[in-house]
Structure 1
Amino acid sequence: MPFEPDLIVLDAPAADHPFTQRVLEALPGVPVRRDHTPASAVETLREEAVDVFGAAKRQLVLTTFRGSFLKKCPGLSPGMVCCNYYVVNLIKNCVYDCSYCFLQDFLENNPLLTAFVNIDDLLVELEEEFREHPDRSFRVGTGEVTDSLALDDLLPYTDYLVPFFNRQNNAVLELKTKSDCVDNLLKQSDPTNVIVSWSLNPDEIVEQEEVGTPSLPKRLDAARRCAEHGFKVGIHLDPVILFDGWEKGYGRLIEQVFDTLPAHQLEWISLGSFRYRPNLKRMMQERHPHTRLLTQEHVAGSDGKFRYLRPLRNHAYDTLRTTIKRRAPEVDVYLCMETKEVWEGVTGHLPRADETLDRFFDF
């Protein structure tokens, strides 16, 4: 069913913006509070809701963003190889409720589902940045603190972003999603410079840990439709989760991917292990008591995040990379938020030794 919030909190600076009016027209039956600030809305939830984070997903704040939209990926941490990724946050929080989602911790102080309506300011900023650095390749994603497409029918940012990136000579847009909400995106006639990527896991993990998300077959069918429309497609096997039988589970998943999508349409496949900061573990235990993700041993890395032991990660990455390359040798495979030592242990080299990945990676 299409998402419909329980309440819209309308911040005064956003009230007369055309994007705001477009959203309000799409939700005629949803109550709007113009005198209710985001801070007071959060305070009310803390007083009334048992699950504050879950309840906050049901209240949509329409506001403006003050400051610079474009930022380097926060995954850039000591000891980690960075893929030179840039992020733009037009929405905060997500309508899905994956047990492992870092937003439970990251947005704890202000968990309301928030949409920034001043997209015209964003486009001006991006235009200036891209023009100022014509020799730099920008890979810009909108799916860091939300799902890029889950609300695109209601908050149609792709109507503005896709035509803008179509015109760029040194930038690509990545729309990262777990959704199957691609109908609005497929209204765009030009797929140039746009990559639609899916975060995938085996059926066992989708059913147990990725609450509220579309099934794996629905995601793959959406990816197929985008590929047939001409969009390049990316796949993120992230987080890789080591459950009993994971080798068979991920083996089936990889076969499903290539049975659905032609290899030449895949821009990349990324691999990243399950990881979390200490406070997220507490929130997972409180909000998802049936999760099975915290039963194994995890150790803290140089970035403060807990991960599987390095030999387990190396084995998992090597297994998945070998399986992918056996089926499609031409597909680029890279590791997300990993150390140089793991990169070298799995691939035998750092990404700078791979011409197809070199344009994105930096140290």
Structure 2
Amino acid sequence: MPFEPDLIVLDTQAAAHPFTQRVLDALPQAPVVRDQSPEAAVAALQERALDVFGAAKRQLALTTFQGSFLKKCPGLSPGMVCCNYYVVNLIKNCVYDCSYCFLQDFLQNNPLLTAFVNVEDLLAELDAEFRAHPDRAFRVGTGEVTDSLALDDLLPYTDYLVPFFNRQSNAVLELKTKSDCVDNLLKQPNPANVIVSWSLNPEIIVEQEEVGTPSLLQRLDAARRCSEHGFQVGLHFDPVILFDGWETAYQTLIDQVFDHVPGHRLEWISLGSFRYRPNLKRVMQERHPATRLLTQEHVAGADGKFRYLRPLRNHAYDTLRRMIKQRAPDVDVYLCMETKEVWEGVTGHLPRADESLDRFFDF
């Protein structure tokens, strides 16, 4: 169903922005509270809501972002290999409610669904950064603390971002999503320098753990439509989740992928295992008591996150990589937030030695 917030929280600085008016015009029935800070709105939720994080997803704060939009990916952690990725956060929180979502812990103190309306400041910052470093290849994603496309009909950031990245010679934009909300994106005539990527899991995981998201086939149909429009497509099997029969389930998933999107239209596939910080386990148990993700043994890594034992991760990555290469030998497959030891165990080398990934991995 289309998202309709229970309340729009509009601060003073955001009120005059053109982007704000577009959002308000798209939601004429939504009640608006003006001149209230997001912090005050969260405090009000804390007084009456049992599940504050869940209730905060139903309120939309429109505000301006102060500071630098462009940041290095948080995957640059102790002991982890970094893929030279940059992130831009235009929205904070997500309308979906996956059991494993790190935002439940990460945004616990300020979980309000928040959209930053000063898009012109973002574009000016990106333009200056890209011009200052013409020899650097920038891979920029908007899906770190939200879903890049789930609200694109109401918060049409792609109307601004896609034409901007079309003009760049040293940067690509990745729109990472679990949604099938691509109608607004497909109005863009030029797909250059834009990769639309989907986070995928077998349908049994979608049904059990990815609450409120479109089905696997809905996502794959959206990927097909984007591919046919000329967009390159990326895929993220992340988090890879191990359960009885996971090999068969992921083989079915991979077959479904290539039945919808030809291998030559895939820009990359990333693999990343289920991982979490210690406090997220408690939050998952409280908000998603039916989750099945915490029954196996997990161990802490150098970055403080808990993961499956390394031999299990190695086996899973090796199995999935082999399945993918059987269907598309030339597609780039890389690992997300993993150690050098796991990289070498799965691929036989570090990414700096993989010529096909040289444009994305800079050491």
TM-score normalised over the length of structure 2: 0.99
1:270-285 alignment, distance < 5 Å: 270-285=270-285
Structure 2 equivalent of residue 74 of structure 1: 74
Deviations 1:149-180 (A, max 9, x none): 00000000000000000000000000000000
Aligned partner letter, 1:328:
A
Structure 1 equivalent of residue 335 of structure 2: 335
Partner Cα separation in structure 1 for residue 315 and residue 60 of structure 2: 42
CA drift of 1:237 comes to 0.2
CA drift of 1:193 comes to 0.1
Runs of 4+ in 1 over 2 A off after TM superposition: none
Structure 2 equivalent of residue 311 of structure 1: 311
Structure 1 equivalent of residue 261 of structure 2: 261
Partner Cα separation in structure 2 for residue 344 and residue 75 of structure 1: 18
Structure 2 equivalent of residue 219 of structure 1: 219
CA drift of 1:359 comes to 1.6
Structure 2 equivalent of residue 239 of structure 1: 239
Structure 1 unmatched runs, 5+: none
Structure 2 equivalent of residue 16 of structure 1: 16
CA drift of 1:30 comes to 0.6
Aligned partner letter, 1:33:
V
Note if 1:180 corresponds to 2:180.
yes
Structure 2 equivalent of residue 52 of structure 1: 52
Partner of 1:4, secondary structure, is coil
Do 1:298 and 1:306's aligned partners in 2 also have CA atoms closer than 8 Å?
Answer: yes
Overall identity of the aligned pairs, in %: 85
CA drift of 1:362 comes to 3.1
CA drift of 1:214 comes to 0.0
CA drift of 1:327 comes to 1.1
Note if 1:100 corresponds to 2:91.
no
Deviations 1:49-81 (A, max 9, x none): 000000000000000000000000011101100
Aligned partner letter, 2:148:
S
Deviations 1:185-219 (A, max 9, x none): 00000000000000000011000000000000000
Partner Cα separation in structure 2 for residue 356 and residue 346 of structure 1: 16
Partner of 1:239, secondary structure, is strand
Partner Cα separation in structure 1 for residue 113 and residue 187 of structure 2: 26
Deviations 1:85-112 (A, max 9, x none): 0000000000000000000000000000
Partner Cα separation in structure 1 for residue 120 and residue 9 of structure 2: 21
Do 1:86 and 1:141's aligned partners in 2 also have CA atoms closer than 8 Å?
Answer: yes
Q: What is the number of residues matched between the two proteins?
A: 363
CA drift of 1:360 comes to 1.1
Deviations 1:214-265 (A, max 9, x none): 0000000000000000000000000000011000000100000011111000
Note if 1:297 corresponds to 2:297.
yes
Do 1:81 and 1:362's aligned partners in 2 also have CA atoms closer than 8 Å?
Answer: no
Partner of 1:269, secondary structure, is strand
Partner Cα separation in structure 1 for residue 14 and residue 256 of structure 2: 44
Partner Cα separation in structure 2 for residue 168 and residue 56 of structure 1: 36
Aligned partner letter, 2:355:
E
Partner Cα separation in structure 1 for residue 359 and residue 307 of structure 2: 28
Partner Cα separation in structure 1 for residue 357 and residue 105 of structure 2: 31
1:124-139 alignment, distance < 5 Å: 124-139=124-139
Partner Cα separation in structure 1 for residue 323 and residue 31 of structure 2: 51
Structure 1 equivalent of residue 32 of structure 2: 32
Partner of 1:154, secondary structure, is coil
CA drift of 1:36 comes to 2.3
Partner of 1:12, secondary structure, is coil
